[in-house]
Structure 1
Amino acid sequence: MPHRIALILMAAGDSTRFCASTNLSLKKQWLRVGDKPLWQKVAEDLSALYPFAQTFITASAADVLYMEQVSPFPVIKGGDTRAQSLRNALECVDAEFVFVSDVARWCVDAAVCERLLACLANPDFACAVPFVSVPDTTFYQDRYLVREDLKLIQTPQLSRTQILRDALSAGDFSDESSAIHALGKRIDFVRGSARLSKLTLGEDLHDMRLSPPNRESFCASGFDVHAFEEGKPMVLGGVSIESKLGFKAHSDGDVALHALSDAILGAMCAGDIGQWFPDTSEEFRGADSKQLLAQIHAYARSVGFEVRYVDLTIMAQIPKIAPYKRQIQESIAVLLSLPISRVSIKATTTESLGFIGRKEGVAVSANATLGYIQWDRILHNEERL
């Protein structure tokens, strides 16, 4: 009968070094491999090796709500450090043992996992870790080290759950083994693998055989309505409109950018603008909708999406939209880093019918087409997105 083991995959990092080295805002855990983000591929590959009793993915505070929407596994909000993220996840573990790995070690090695699991036969088992030897001469603080004595520690690591909890209660550590070693417990070392090298910088992608992202497109619509309000400036599509009326709204009421924001969020299955910027929050009172859209666009890119095309239909009896269509087109193109040929702006009246025809407000229907950022272009020195 298999041991009761929980799997925790650490994916709550901010990918600062990876993003800086690629000129991409795309975080490495969100690199698409086919149609799956890297964290999902790693979790599924590990799950195929052992019948884990529980599986958890840690996510940053910025990612947790979105990951919860798209993850087939339970998601745990991470902390400011790896150790804090792991402590948070361990609160949900009820298995006797826990298998911890990092999404950055994307390549799963079945032989290494088998060697780790074999250590559970030790009656005083506390923690087992894979390592690789240091092949080069090593110099540290004015002296040469005996390289045969050095071990480069890798993940995944297997630990007794309660011992790991106790070890991490003492403070932050870089990995499980260092925390458990500080507690005075024995560490079992098993032979690791060069295949477990970490994905840290963009140049590391050259040495990895990850399948490129799918080239499929994702389309969604957004729709928004705002009534008029006297004495408030009117902003539409990020452009100031000459009018005695503005829009009644918690923010600046830019109905065009609100509809477009919802279309982008819909295409990536990330909720709606009301969830992101609730009208019950004073933080967003009078907010500039250009900044709200910019935040949504930046987030979409950080989790692997690019906006490829947008199409808006503005329904208004007043004001006249035709004189502003080009300005709105240019404004949105700048906000989404698109050529104007990929931003379509249309306008129509409702032939004096309904609330629009009665000149009570404006409605906008928006459509957005998104696709995965084709990160594999980096490998061929092609366009950096």
Structure 2
Amino acid sequence: MSNTTLILLGAGSSSRFKTDVKKQWLYSGEIPLWLHVTEHFEKINDFNKIIIVSTTDEIQLMRNFATYTYVEGGASRQQSLTNALKHVDTEYVLVSDIARCCIPEEMIKRILDAKELGSCIVPVLPVTDTLYMNEVPIDREDVRIIQTPQLSVTKILKKALETETLFTDDSSAIASLGESVHFVKGSVSAHKLTTLDDLQKLPCLEAPSNRTLTGFGIDIHPFEENKEMWLGGVKINVDYGFKAHSDGDVAIHALIDALLGAAGMGDIGELYPDTNNHYAGADSKELLKDTVKRIASFGYEIGNIDLTIMTEAPKLLPYKSEMKTTLAALLGIRANFVNIKATTAEKLGFVGRKEGVTVHAVANLTYFNWKNI
């Protein structure tokens, strides 16, 4: 059994990445970046445990991909690492950033092979340019560029982080205790993905797959007297609406389920439960906006949608065009990628008795193609 645990940190907001997609959810082929990085480490060493640190929403989706140990991050890198260390009981811990996604195998092995040479093993690069501190030149031979991953003696790293002082990496925390830090050769290939320009420096990443992901949604709501009716994001001019916890827009609800299904993100009841008073009377258009934002952040783009609305009443022909343009704007796609069909139930069942409406929805997603940026 290995005496080393791997921690991969990825709870950041990607604020400097300047896209709707969180960088850990860029796809290389059909694998998100965080999994690409994890599997690379896994092939190199048999770790006792692998811990992924991320946000609650991301962890829910990550569990669809692999059965690692997932830990919710904190407000800072240090807090995220502290949260993860609570789950570490091995002698050593190797900590890296998911954003450092093209680390050469030989660099990782150099770090692991040097584990007995210091309390923290750190890959470094020499500085080749002239350096100034304010207006004074400094000797570049005294300066090093620090990289990750960093290997630490677990009990020492835990002790080093028991402070209010914030450290930018593990080695500086351990050095603050007077413990030894040992340097090994790093690699320029181990470039950290921070901005969009960095994508050009990461040759290990493939273009995203061109696979189309399809989801299906269905929703049903009965009518309720003396309530506004909203359907497909449009107000329908009748004196009854839908009985529901939110505004009851059955078309948007079915569409949300179709989108979530294509992304493998569960269903509308998980994201917006009717047991939560926050969603009482909620505007379904706002729920759809939030769903679209979530889907984009996880690396997907919406292709097209197709809705079938089954109803005897009200008559929808006067509203279909407005529904198309409204939904297209909410989804961020052109109106020709939105199709709405209305049909009856031939007077059969609850729809045929004019007691309610049912909607079937299909949505197609593709992976965000960061190669086109």
Q: Shorter-chain TM-score: which interval?
A: over 0.9
Contact 1:14 1:60 in 2 (8 A): no
CA distance in 2, matches of 1:86, 1:121: 22
Q: Is 2:145 the partner of 1:145?
A: no
Tell me by how many angstroms 1:373 deviates. 0.8
- The residue type equivalent to 2:264 in the other structure is C
Secondary structure of the residue aligned to 1:338 is: coil
Q: For residue 382 of structure 1, what is the aligned residue in structure 2?
A: none
The count of residues paired between Structure 1 and Structure 2 equals 371
Q: Is 2:156 the partner of 1:163?
A: yes
1:1-385 to structure 2, matched below 5 A, reads 3-19=2-18, 24-122=19-117, 125-171=118-164, 172-209=166-203, 210-378=205-373
**139-148 or 26-35: bigger deviation:** 139-148
- The residue type equivalent to 2:272 in the other structure is F
Secondary structure of the residue aligned to 1:215 is: coil
Tell me by how many angstroms 1:61 deviates. 3.6
**102-111 or 60-69: bigger deviation:** 60-69
Contact 2:2 2:46 in 1 (8 A): no
Secondary structure of the residue aligned to 2:110 is: helix
- The residue type equivalent to 2:139 in the other structure is V
CA distance in 2, matches of 1:75, 1:222: 29
Could you say what the CA RMSD is over the residues aligned between the two structures, in angstroms?
A: 1.2
- The residue type equivalent to 2:338 in the other structure is V
Secondary structure of the residue aligned to 2:286 is: helix
Contact 1:6 1:99 in 2 (8 A): yes
- The residue type equivalent to 1:75 in the other structure is Y
- The residue type equivalent to 2:219 in the other structure is D
CA distance in 2, matches of 1:59, 1:225: 35
Unaligned runs of 5+ in 1: 379-385
Tell me by how many angstroms 1:339 deviates. 1.2
CA distance in 2, matches of 1:205, 1:163: 35
Q: For residue 381 of structure 1, what is the aligned residue in structure 2?
A: none
What's the CA shift string for 1:240-266, capped at 9, x where partnerless?
001111111111111000000000000
What's the CA shift string for 1:58-102, capped at 9, x where partnerless?
112442222233334222111111111111111111211111111
What's the CA shift string for 1:19-67, capped at 9, x where partnerless?
2xxxx21111111000000110010001111100100111124422222
% identical aligned pairs:
45
- The residue type equivalent to 2:10 in the other structure is A
CA distance in 2, matches of 1:153, 1:322: 64
Secondary structure of the residue aligned to 2:219 is: strand
CA distance in 2, matches of 1:232, 1:71: 46
